[in-house]
Amino acid sequence: MFSNPLIFAFSLTFLAGISTGIGSILCLLYKKFNPKFLGIMLGISAGVMLYVSFVEILTKAKLSLSSVFGEKLGYTYTLLGFFTGILIIILIDKILPHQHPDEKQSETHDQKLLRLGIFSALALSIHNFPEGLATFLSALENPTYGISIASAIAIHNIPEGIAVAIPIYYATKNRKKAFLYSFLSGLTEPIGALIGYFILLQFFDESIFGAIFAGVAGMMVYICINELIPTAKEYAGKKLSTYGIVFGMFIMAVSLALFI
């Protein structure tokens, strides 16, 4: 089974990464447009991203940075990375066009949803890159442990795929485009494994991993606060969108707890 450790480790990473596509498929099976369904799903996406950002990604960042710089300095660098990530996504928000210059009307719902989906795909792609490298290296070192890591990542990649696919589908009404964006956001995991192993591994250490994870946590939290939650409330109302957020947190909590 493990005769070629490289192929085995890469295959695990690839399968874990493309599971984002499973999340998009599950959502895209729902054919009829329903504003409340969209709002609830956006709420679930926000819950998933908030929970994984604070409970998993930011925790990993602090542990990595503290192992290099010590507890106090590691915590300080984690905070700097977190708010740097927020600043980066704010700058990207300014760069991405919201509407044509000659148009005076406010941004349409479709434009907002499309931008939201692109933001989610971008943040998750950056997050999945080092995650893919970590999965790959774990599988190389210990195939059994690698299976557990890859399974956990695959499970929590499914709701992350929802966060990308749903807004893009409802913005474009194009299932193929929604699936493609979702699929590609997960594909950065095996890409991260390949590039990291053959090119970047000699430069990567715990401090770089920590900084990347802290920045990604900031990006994802900002996307939730600025984009996902307000849009969810707009479509589903305060109560239903809040239920969606809580349910999204529950889904992610269970998926992480299964492989502790």
Bind-site residues for Fe(2+): 128, 131, 157, 160, 189
**CA dihedral for 135, 204, 95, 225, sign (positive or negative):** positive
Amino acid symbol at 6: L
Q: What is the Cα gyration radius of the chain?
A: 18
Virtual CA dihedral for 130, 132, 136, 142, nearest 10 degrees?
A: 90
Neighbours of 249 (CB within 10 A): 20
Neighbours of 133 (CB within 10 A): 24
Residue ranges of the binding site for Zn(2+): 131, 156, 160
Which residues make Cβ contacts (< 8 Å) with residue 113, sequence separation at least 6?
Answer: 167, 168, 170, 171, 231
Integer Cα distance of 94 and 143 in angstroms: 44
Residue ranges of the binding site: 128, 131, 156-157, 160, 189
How wide is the angle at C-alpha 89 spanned by C-alphas 85 and 93, nearest 5°?
170
Please check whether residue 9 is in contact with residue 146, taking contact to mean a CB–CB distance below 8 angstroms: yes
Per-residue DSSP letter, 197: I
33: exposed, middle or buried (C-beta count within 10 Å: 0-12, 13-18, 19+)?
A: exposed
